[in-house]
Structure 1
Amino acid sequence: MYCKNCGRSVDDTSSYCNNCGARIDNKPNADVSEDNSNLGFAILGFFIPIVGLILFLIYEEKKPKRAKSAGKGALIGFITKIVLAIILVILYVVFATSLFNNISNNIPAIGDVFSEETTDKILEKDVDVSFGEFKVTNNGYYSETSLDITVKNKAEEQCTYYITIEAVDANGARIDTDMIYADRLGAGQEVYLKAFEYVDQEKLNQFKNATFKVLEINKYDY
């Protein structure tokens, strides 16, 4: 081994030059020898990019290979998260659009869907509404009520009917109203429904002697 200061030969185990007294650095640089690519730094940078960036800045000069591992992991992790975020946004938009379209298809459009025909006209040519018995049953705590109603579609196409039922007393005064919904009845199809299932207990006697009739019908054609 030779002295870097004066060029004279020195012993390999010497720490100083015997000729000029300069210090002899005969030990390898520990930082350089220990510097290598590190999978742990790369993984940490991938899952937590901000940590990878910090490690890159800390080790950039001391251990550049390790710093590079952390930097690469952070960069790949950041790009991956951006791509996943874009994909999730696209999926959300597609799902929301599909859901909105399904809801829109099932909601009648104002002024376009409901028939403008009068209730009497609809009852005459499109639908039959017949009433059964108004029932009152005491379950030991309160009285349960119901009015059986049959709705039959006489139209030649599929229709939905929103029907308002009125209960009136012997003098023709209104006691209460309720609405039933006959959904997508095919031509000639009928459905059995119930109305007035929640009647004020104070009106029970009036309902027992009431007359029931159709107050209003809205027809929805498909």
Structure 2
Amino acid sequence: MAKFCSECGKKVENGQKLCDNCKAKRRSSGQGDAPWWILGAILPPVGLILFLVWKNDRKKDAKNIGTGALVATIVWLFFGLSFLIDSNNASFNGGNNNSGVNNLAKEIDVSSASKELKEWYTYVTSEDALAVTVVALSYCDYCKQYKPILTQIASEEKFKMYYFDIDTMSEIDSAVLTGVYNLEKYEGSSPYSFVTKNKKFLGDVVGYMNREQTINFLTSVGAM
């Protein structure tokens, strides 16, 4: 009974050791292809290169190594996209965590600060004062989208909301804003929001949030 070449697919008669069409050596029964797709899965770039080299002369090997490379590439793309999506989501540091609960307000000389910063300092360092402070950048589009969302929630829930474009502030005001509490997560990213109450730091979050995310964050730190 005639069989077919494992490389090019052409008919090969029993007893033939070489394919008349591609000259490939016939494989014995049970000879596996697993090493090729495994190689393609482990080293996708190598697999893709060998697929292109073998696609005409060693079709079966090309198919196996190409399949392994393709599957591995899809898996890596999936995890890469998942990482990017997660990195763009707001990362919460809620009131149930321990990183912020010991960040008590510190006394700072605000005599040279602006009137706006003096007002903020007086409020966030007073007893029973709940405030949400946003550190933003004047050119940040996400900050501009976030501000009206938080402003509306603050109006509805009756708490103080302060919003500062840190890049337009004086060095003195900037030092006051970032020095009263130990802002562990603030590294220049914006918008950066933190919640304080009774001279204590309750929690913070980096990044833009829609209304639902903002409410969830404020609830998690005890602001609502």
* TM-score of the two chains, using structure 1 as the length reference: 0.34
Q: Which has the higher contact order (CA 8 A, sep 6+)?
A: 2
Greater C-alpha radius of gyration? 1
* TM-score of the two chains, using structure 2 as the length reference: 0.34
Decide which structure has greater helix share.
Answer: 2
Decide which structure has greater strand share.
Answer: 1
